[in-house]
Structure 1
Amino acid sequence: MPIDIRGSSASEIADSLRALVERGGLRPGDALPPVRTLAESLGVNRNTVSAAYRQLTIAGLVVTLGRGGTRIAGQAPVAQEGFADTVLRDVGTGNPDPSFIPDPSRALATIAGRPILYGEPVIDPDLERWAQEWMSADLEPASLRLTITSGAADAVERLLAQALTREDAVALEDPCFLASIHTVRMGGYRAVPVPVDEEGMTVDGLRAALAHGVRAIVCTPRAQNPTGASLSAQRAAALREVLGEHPYVLVIEDDHYSMLSRTDYHSLIGPEHRRWALVRSVSKFLGPDMCLAVTASDPETAQRLALRLTPGTTWVSHLLQRLAHALVTDPDARDRVDAAAEHYAARNAAFAELLTAAGIPVRAQDGLNLWVTLPVPARAVSEQLMRRGWLARTGDEFDLVPAGPSHRLRLTVHDLSDDDAGQLAADIAASVRAVA
Structure 2
Amino acid sequence: MDLEISGRSAAEISDSLRGLVERRMLRPGDALPPVRSLADRLGVNRNTVVAAYRQLTQTGVLVTRGRGGTRVADRAAVAQEGFAADTVLRDVGTGNPDPSRIPDISRALARVAGRPVLYGEPVIDPAVERWAREWMRDAPADPFSLTITSGAADAVERLLASALTRDDAVALEDPCFLTSIHTVRVGGYRAVPVPVDDEGMTVEGLRAALADGVRAVVCTPRAQNPTGASVTAERAGKLRAVLAEHPYVLVIQDDHFSMLSREPFHSITGPENRRWALVRSVSKFLGPDMCLAVTASDLETADRLAVRLTPGTTWVSHLLQRLTLALATDPEVTADIERAGAHYAERNIAFAERLAGRGIPARAGDGLNLWVPLPVPAHAVADRLMRRGWLVRSGEDFSLGDPDAAYRLRLTTHDLSDADADQLADDIAAAVDAVHHQSARGGMG
Give the whole-Å Cα distance in 1 for the aligned partners of 2:29 and 2:334: 57
Give the whole-Å Cα distance in 1 for the aligned partners of 2:387 and 2:123: 51
Structure 1: which amino acid aligns with 2:121? E
**Residues 361-415 of structure 1: CA deviation (Å, up to 9, x unaligned):** 0010100000001111111111111111111101101111253871011000001
**Residues 146-173 of structure 1: CA deviation (Å, up to 9, x unaligned):** 0000000000000001111111111111
Instruction: Map 1:124-273 onto structure 2 (within 5 A).
Output: 124-136=125-137, 138-273=138-273
Give the whole-Å Cα distance in 1 for the aligned partners of 2:361 and 2:40: 57
Structure 1: which amino acid aligns with 2:108? A
Q: Is this contact kept in 1: 2:148–2:293, CA < 8 A? A: yes
Give the whole-Å Cα distance in 2 for the aligned partners of 1:15 and 1:129: 53
Shift, 1:310, TM fit: 2.5
Shift, 1:112, TM fit: 1.0
Quickly say closer, same or farther: Cα 1:219–1:32, change in 2 above 3 A. closer
Quickly say closer, same or farther: Cα 1:418–1:54, change in 2 above 3 A. farther
Instruction: Map 1:30-429 onto structure 2 (within 5 A).
Output: 35=33, 38=38, 40-43=40-43, 52=53, 59=60, 76-85=76-85, 86-136=87-137, 138-310=138-310, 313-403=313-403, 406-429=406-429
Give the whole-Å Cα distance in 2 for the aligned partners of 1:376 and 1:47: 51
Aligned length: 427
Structure 2: which amino acid aligns with 1:26? R
2:443 matched residue in structure 1: none
Q: Is this contact kept in 1: 2:20–2:26, CA < 8 A? A: no
The root-mean-square deviation of aligned C-alpha atoms, in Å, is 2.9
Give the whole-Å Cα distance in 2 for the aligned partners of 1:203 and 1:387: 41
Shift, 1:142, TM fit: 1.7
> Any idea what SS the aligned residue of 1:109 has?
helix
Give the whole-Å Cα distance in 2 for the aligned partners of 1:5 and 1:72: 20
> Any idea what SS the aligned residue of 1:35 has?
coil
> Any idea what SS the aligned residue of 2:112 has?
coil
Quickly say closer, same or farther: Cα 1:13–1:203, change in 2 above 3 A. farther
> Any idea what SS the aligned residue of 2:302 has?
helix
Quickly say closer, same or farther: Cα 1:31–1:140, change in 2 above 3 A. closer
Shift, 1:244, TM fit: 1.1
> Any idea what SS the aligned residue of 2:406 has?
coil
Quickly say closer, same or farther: Cα 1:273–1:355, change in 2 above 3 A. same
Quickly say closer, same or farther: Cα 1:387–1:108, change in 2 above 3 A. same
Q: Is this contact kept in 2: 1:92–1:391, CA < 8 A? A: yes
The answer to whether the aligner puts 1:25 opposite 2:23 as a matched pair is: yes
> Any idea what SS the aligned residue of 2:295 has?
strand
Give the whole-Å Cα distance in 2 for the aligned partners of 1:307 and 1:47: 34
Q: Is this contact kept in 2: 1:169–1:190, CA < 8 A? A: yes
Give the whole-Å Cα distance in 2 for the aligned partners of 1:47 and 1:377: 48
Which is worse superposed, 393-402 or 220-229? 393-402
Give the whole-Å Cα distance in 1 for the aligned partners of 2:357 and 2:266: 33
- Report the TM-score when normalising by structure 1: 0.90
Q: Is this contact kept in 1: 2:18–2:61, CA < 8 A? A: no
Q: Report sequence identity in percent.
A: 68
Give the whole-Å Cα distance in 1 for the aligned partners of 2:386 and 2:251: 40
Shift, 1:435, TM fit: 1.1
Q: Is this contact kept in 1: 2:262–2:341, CA < 8 A? A: yes
Give the whole-Å Cα distance in 2 for the aligned partners of 1:72 and 1:182: 14
Give the whole-Å Cα distance in 1 for the aligned partners of 2:8 and 2:78: 30
Quickly say closer, same or farther: Cα 1:279–1:435, change in 2 above 3 A. same
Give the whole-Å Cα distance in 2 for the aligned partners of 1:50 and 1:348: 53
Structure 1: which amino acid aligns with 2:115? R
Give the whole-Å Cα distance in 1 for the aligned partners of 2:29 and 2:238: 46
Quickly say closer, same or farther: Cα 1:425–1:52, change in 2 above 3 A. farther
**Residues 265-302 of structure 1: CA deviation (Å, up to 9, x unaligned):** 00012023211000000000000000000000011110
**Residues 5-26 of structure 1: CA deviation (Å, up to 9, x unaligned):** 54766x98566534554xx433
Give the whole-Å Cα distance in 1 for the aligned partners of 2:261 and 2:205: 25
Q: Is this contact kept in 2: 1:200–1:229, CA < 8 A? A: yes
Quickly say closer, same or farther: Cα 1:185–1:140, change in 2 above 3 A. closer
Give the whole-Å Cα distance in 1 for the aligned partners of 2:31 and 2:200: 42
Give the whole-Å Cα distance in 2 for the aligned partners of 1:58 and 1:367: 37
Structure 2: which amino acid aligns with 1:216? A
Q: Is this contact kept in 2: 1:377–1:405, CA < 8 A? A: no
> Any idea what SS the aligned residue of 1:217 has?
strand
Give the whole-Å Cα distance in 1 for the aligned partners of 2:400 and 2:58: 14
Give the whole-Å Cα distance in 1 for the aligned partners of 2:60 and 2:376: 32
Quickly say closer, same or farther: Cα 1:143–1:405, change in 2 above 3 A. closer
- Report the TM-score when normalising by structure 2: 0.88
Structure 2 stretches lacking a partner, 5+ long: 437-445
Shift, 1:70, TM fit: 6.7
2:442 matched residue in structure 1: none
Give the whole-Å Cα distance in 2 for the aligned partners of 1:321 and 1:40: 59
Quickly say closer, same or farther: Cα 1:361–1:32, change in 2 above 3 A. closer
Give the whole-Å Cα distance in 2 for the aligned partners of 1:194 and 1:6: 41
Q: Is this contact kept in 1: 2:64–2:167, CA < 8 A? A: no
